[in-house]
């Protein structure tokens, strides 16, 4: 190319960046240092990273493959909260330890409840109390709120908007970035949801029955019209009675359910024994309350949901 023409092209490109209305996005540069954000568990940590981009540094308290129900905070966790600018929690009783930890750390900053605005579901607790409160609330008629709202991608749209608004409040200069990232991610969530609907639409309603470790898929079940059965309650700490397990085994055998799945952060002993007694082979692990480690099938929320949908659909097709 002629050197003079090449120089003219360079000058034109440089000028177009400076001119308004040329189609180039103008966004503030990354923060130095990035905005410190603490997320209560791995799924929220992933969402915060997507929405925040390079402007945030996310610390996750309950990491991949870890159980938030059984989480015991460490001194390092209190230190992380004390030094953060924004604390991101799920709410709905999912992490009752979070508020206590923030108080003990002397945290005075912004707290964002990602689930704000979600239409909640409840689960009847046969033990007569909310299993997330570990027996502190003894009300025979209580039906605890199901905190696993992220299992419906439509709810995660609200999560993402709440996270973007919280980040913008903590970092007003970055608001355009957070809004743009959120909008782009919401489109991905909508594509994911449409794909999942199509996967399950091909399966007869009578076959849409699944056995999992604990009741973590209520929102997923309602959204995609699937019946989930679990030997444990809403919390992975719940212990079913021998009668409950026996009834579930009989149902598996009677209805010839073949879609039986462990979860990545649950103790496999109970469901493994149940599967053995019922004569059913468990499928691949599902991701319910935690992402997988990097490089595994559920390393991000989108990957987690695609993995779960694929495995569930394949398992249900095996049922008679």
Domain membership of residue 16 (yes or no) is no
52 and 162 assigned to the same domain: yes
**What's the pLDDT score for residue 262?**
64
**What's the pLDDT score for residue 16?**
40
**What's the pLDDT score for residue 126?**
29
47 and 137 assigned to the same domain: yes
289 and 268 assigned to the same domain: yes
Q: How many domains does the chain have?
A: 2
**What's the pLDDT score for residue 162?**
98
Beta strands in 32-168 (DSSP E): 35-41, 56-62, 86-89, 110-113
96 and 206 assigned to the same domain: no
Which stretches of 97-174 are DSSP H helices?
Answer: 97-104, 153-170
206 and 77 assigned to the same domain: no
165 and 267 assigned to the same domain: no
Domain membership of residue 13 (yes or no) is no
Peptide bond before 310: cis, by omega within 30 degrees of 0?
Answer: no
Domain membership of residue 29 (yes or no) is no
Taking the chain (320 residues) in runs of 10, the rounded mean pLDDT of each run is 48 41 51 92 98 98 92 95 97 94 95 97 49 35 81 98 98 97 98 97 89 81 88 49 66 63 58 63 80 95 97 82
Distance from chain centroid for Cα 96: 17
Tell me the CA end-to-end span of the chain in Å, nearest whole number. Answer: 68
What sign has the CA pseudo-torsion 83, 78, 49, 296? positive
130, 165, 192: which is the final residue of a domain?
192
Provide the domain limits for residue 74.
Answer: 35-192
168 and 231 assigned to the same domain: no
The label of the residue with tokens 């849409």 reads 208
pTM: 0.78
152, 172, 192: which is the final residue of a domain?
192
243 and 287 assigned to the same domain: yes
129 and 230 assigned to the same domain: no
d(CA 107, CA 38): 12
Domain membership of residue 105 (yes or no) is yes
Domain membership of residue 76 (yes or no) is yes
42 and 188 assigned to the same domain: yes
**What's the pLDDT score for residue 129?**
32
162, 192, 222: which is the final residue of a domain?
192
Whichever domain contains 125, its CATH number is 3.40.50.1980
Domain membership of residue 21 (yes or no) is no
**What's the pLDDT score for residue 32?**
76
**What's the pLDDT score for residue 198?**
97
d(CA 157, CA 150): 9
64 and 163 assigned to the same domain: yes
139 and 265 assigned to the same domain: no
d(CA 85, CA 294): 26
């Amino acid at each position: 190319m002629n050197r003079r023409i090449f120089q003219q092209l360079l000058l034109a490109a440089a000028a177009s960046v400076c001119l308004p209305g040329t189609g180039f996005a103008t966004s503030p540069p990354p923060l130095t240092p990035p905005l410190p954000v603490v997320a209560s568990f791995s799924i929220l940590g992933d969402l915060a990273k997507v929405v925040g981009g390079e402007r945030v540094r996310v610390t996750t308290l309950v990491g991949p493959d870890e159980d938030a129900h059984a989480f015991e905070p460490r001194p390092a966790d209190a230190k992380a909260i004390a030094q953060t600018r924004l604390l991101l929690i799920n709410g709905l009783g999912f992490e009752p330890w979070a508020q206590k930890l923030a108080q003990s750390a002397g945290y005075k900053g912004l707290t964002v409840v990602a689930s704000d605005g979600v239409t909640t579901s409840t689960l009847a607790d046969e033990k007569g109390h909310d299993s997330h409160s570990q027996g502190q609330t003894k009300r025979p008629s209580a039906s605890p709120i199901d905190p696993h709202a992220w299992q419906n991608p439509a709810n995660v749209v609200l999560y993402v908007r709440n996270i973007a608004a919280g980040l913008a409040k903590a970092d007003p200069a970055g608001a355009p970035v957070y809004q743009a990232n959120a909008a782009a991610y919401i489109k991905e969530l909508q594509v994911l949801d449409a794909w999942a609907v199509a996967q399950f639409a091909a399966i007869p309603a009578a076959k849409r029955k699944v056995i999992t470790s604990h009741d973590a898929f209520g929102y997923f079940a309602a959204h995609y019209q699937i019946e989930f059965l679990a030997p444990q309650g809403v919390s992975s700490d719940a212990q079913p009675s021998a009668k409950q397990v026996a009834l579930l085994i009989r149902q598996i055998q009677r209805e010839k359910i073949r879609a039986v799945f462990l979860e990545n952060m649950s103790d496999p002993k109970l469901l493994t024994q149940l599967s053995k007694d019922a004569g059913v082979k468990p499928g691949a692990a599902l991701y319910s309350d935690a992402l997988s480690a990097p490089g595994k099938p559920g390393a991000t929320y989108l990957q987690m949901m695609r993995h779960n949908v694929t495995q569930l659909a394949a398992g249900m097709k095996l049922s008679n």
